[in-house]
Structure 1
């Protein structure tokens, strides 16, 4: 199969789960013998633009006509069987869908966040879940300045969502939702249910497994309010005041709260802030963990770090909402805390470190869950199934509605939402 992957790469200065997923899927397809091309733009390139060029970027968010022309020319030259669209913000825009329609190439799109129904893609405002724009217009997001706290910055995203909503819904033959929780939200917002398939992200099996009981608790990810960083700090301070849990907390990542985290960790023996780790150091840190902590306050559409922990045989403490409730079986492969509750998070951190035998059992269960639902073989199968369905739908060969779940485990009521990435 010949696949062209379309993706706007996020800034390299901060960790991006979406960039990682794209790279892993491309490598997986190529290793399986498929021909994969890339049509990319990079957010890093914005810095090299002139002042006028930088000022023009918001105008390209709803529609970039140059991209339509460039991609159409690429499609006519390469003639791929299918185009796989990932992120189009801010330099690609939904003009990529028009290019595919111009040439008659079927389209698959992975929905890494909630950008189809929420301009910033997070379903969160002021640190709390928000669905005000879901199923309606994005005007509330503009009024509240939901993207980066700025009305002006939110306008291009809201305009793109409003103008291009029908283009997305009609121009994509198969959407990949990265969790059943995310699919439930999007179907409820009116997206075409028969084109929304659940395809969890996979994680390569690096054979970096935990050996022993682990040395630390680990937070690995973006240092942002939505990821629950402040919640984790509050819970950890409460634990420290009560004598601690016997192992340190390692915080790895970068983001807007980096200064706050650095100051909080300074001079403490029970906390180590280690900055931004590369891929190898991330894997080693996960494999040395008693547990990985994912306390997000926003409704994660997936949770890549959760599955990376499972692959290493490490249990997880995660917020009990969004996709986490379908990734983590509470009390079996990890623990779920009350979303936004620092006392509940502190209690789970104490429990996960207190019983080493139980912790090892959870780690083994987590590894089994990974092998059943998130390994490369499963990921490849679902990718190719989605491509074939899109090709059949575009050629008039019919379309089979996707199952409500992903087949890797029991369904639960997950209407509260889901991690992939936020803008």
Structure 2
């Protein structure tokens, strides 16, 4: 199958959507499909062979973060050329409601379109206001996928229609088989995320950290991600700052090793999350997880069975839970065991099969399916009616 995938966000600034698209493309390629990904990127960015650059992106505030998007007449021409030359059996567009390559691809496409919605934002006035502009493009979509129930709810409430929920995928074995790193072991808490993006919650963890150190003075906090390191610790007493180690941007291999090494992974995010891929990666690596009780996080953690939850933005609650877990090896082992079983539902072997089932249903190959079975598949995947 010839598959075109459109990434709305700049390839050179890593994020959850880009990682999802990268891993999906590599999984599909490994199965023998021909995959091309169109994404914004700077000229000097090294790209995998399956990625086609649509040119440089510009930063735009979006959903509590800053998204780097590519939009305009030149971009539209590049999208049309890529769609025309690709002759794709199916076009898979991510975040088609953003002013980006994704929306341009919706306008340019003629064949079957699958759209994945990642955003969870129940109060998006911008999305409501933009609906009249988006509607003609969205009506061309053959099937809709949401990465979580909360992303699905955002879609339903703001744009209408429905979607099948297929979560983000993870190569579970990649994380499970990573080698721990000795210097990252022994009373360590891990955090991975953009340091200077408040919704990732590092300030909440920093506020909790003195209380953790008061109970467990030998604890270390390992922080991986880009941002202003000095600003991140400025609220900490000077004597405690040496207990925080900044690792900067790390490779996928080192991320897996970090998650395999820490005694506790903390996700103190404050909002704007539709899924929580880092929680799945942490569970895959066997790291006990402590996360804020965002709806999306609670769903990924099976209501608190696969990882513990604390009240969002409650630094004292975070600290108390972290101290208790760091002092209770048996409880951490329980979380490891449950998480390792639970996380298998997010492995690409399962997620990829579900995505391919959607592709196959919207392409001409679906004509070979018996009519009653085809109707059932369309109901399952929230597909548009076809003649």
Sort the TM-score into its range (normalised by shorter chain): 0.7 to 0.9
Larger relative contact order, structure 1 or 2 (CA cutoff 8 Å, min sep 6): 1
Matches within 5 A, 1:157-236: 161-162=130-131, 164-193=133-162, 196-204=163-171, 205-206=173-174, 207-208=176-177, 215=186, 216-223=188-195, 224-236=197-209
Matches within 5 A, 1:20-419: 20-42=19-41, 44-45=42-43, 64-86=72-94, 92=101, 94-100=103-109, 104-114=110-120, 123=121, 131=123, 133=125, 136-137=128-129, 161-162=130-131, 164-193=133-162, 196-204=163-171, 205-206=173-174, 207-208=176-177, 215=186, 216-223=188-195, 224-240=197-213, 242-244=214-216, 246-255=218-227, 257-261=228-232, 263=234, 268-371=241-344, 373-391=345-363, 400-402=378-380
Which is worse superposed, 261-270 or 66-75? 261-270
TM-score (normalised: structure 2): 0.79
Measure how far apart 1:45 and its partner are: 4.6
Is the partner of 1:340 in helix, strand or coil? coil
- Assess, with a 3 A threshold, how the Cα gap between structure 1 residues 333 and 245 changes in structure 2: closer, same or farther: farther
Distance 1:57 1:132 in 2: 19
- Assess, with a 3 A threshold, how the Cα gap between structure 1 residues 200 and 54 changes in structure 2: closer, same or farther: closer
> Per-residue displacement from partner, 1:270-303 (whole Å, max 9, x unpaired)?
2212211121111111100112111110131111
Measure how far apart 1:233 and its partner are: 0.7
Asked if 2 retains the 8 angstrom alpha-carbon contact of 1:15 and 1:253, the reply is no
Measure how far apart 1:111 and its partner are: 1.8
Is the partner of 2:378 in helix, strand or coil? coil
Give the match for residue 2 of structure 1. 2
Give the match for residue 153 of structure 1. none
RMSD: 3.4
> Per-residue displacement from partner, 1:249-281 (whole Å, max 9, x unpaired)?
1111113x5441254577634221221112111
Is the partner of 2:255 in helix, strand or coil? helix
> Per-residue displacement from partner, 1:99-136 (whole Å, max 9, x unpaired)?
10xxx21111222224xxxxxxxx4xxxxxx7262774
> Per-residue displacement from partner, 1:279-338 (whole Å, max 9, x unpaired)?
111111110011211111013111111010111112211111131011113553210111
Asked if 2 retains the 8 angstrom alpha-carbon contact of 1:253 and 1:275, the reply is yes
Distance 2:124 2:84 in 1: 41
Distance 1:10 1:259 in 2: 27
Measure how far apart 1:91 and its partner are: 5.6
> Per-residue displacement from partner, 1:342-363 (whole Å, max 9, x unpaired)?
1121122122212101101210
- Assess, with a 3 A threshold, how the Cα gap between structure 1 residues 364 and 97 changes in structure 2: closer, same or farther: same
Asked if 2 retains the 8 angstrom alpha-carbon contact of 1:210 and 1:313, the reply is no
- Assess, with a 3 A threshold, how the Cα gap between structure 1 residues 54 and 288 changes in structure 2: closer, same or farther: closer
Give the match for residue 155 of structure 1. none
Asked if 2 retains the 8 angstrom alpha-carbon contact of 1:15 and 1:222, the reply is no
- Assess, with a 3 A threshold, how the Cα gap between structure 1 residues 56 and 358 changes in structure 2: closer, same or farther: closer
Distance 2:128 2:135 in 1: 13
- Assess, with a 3 A threshold, how the Cα gap between structure 1 residues 54 and 169 changes in structure 2: closer, same or farther: closer
Measure how far apart 1:392 and its partner are: 6.3
- Assess, with a 3 A threshold, how the Cα gap between structure 1 residues 331 and 198 changes in structure 2: closer, same or farther: closer
- Assess, with a 3 A threshold, how the Cα gap between structure 1 residues 192 and 316 changes in structure 2: closer, same or farther: same
Distance 1:9 1:303 in 2: 18
Asked if 2 retains the 8 angstrom alpha-carbon contact of 1:15 and 1:254, the reply is no
Consecutive unaligned residues of structure 2, counting only runs of 5 or more, are 46-54, 61-67, 383-387
Is the partner of 2:322 in helix, strand or coil? helix
Distance 1:15 1:93 in 2: 17
Distance 2:72 2:293 in 1: 39
How many residues matched?
351
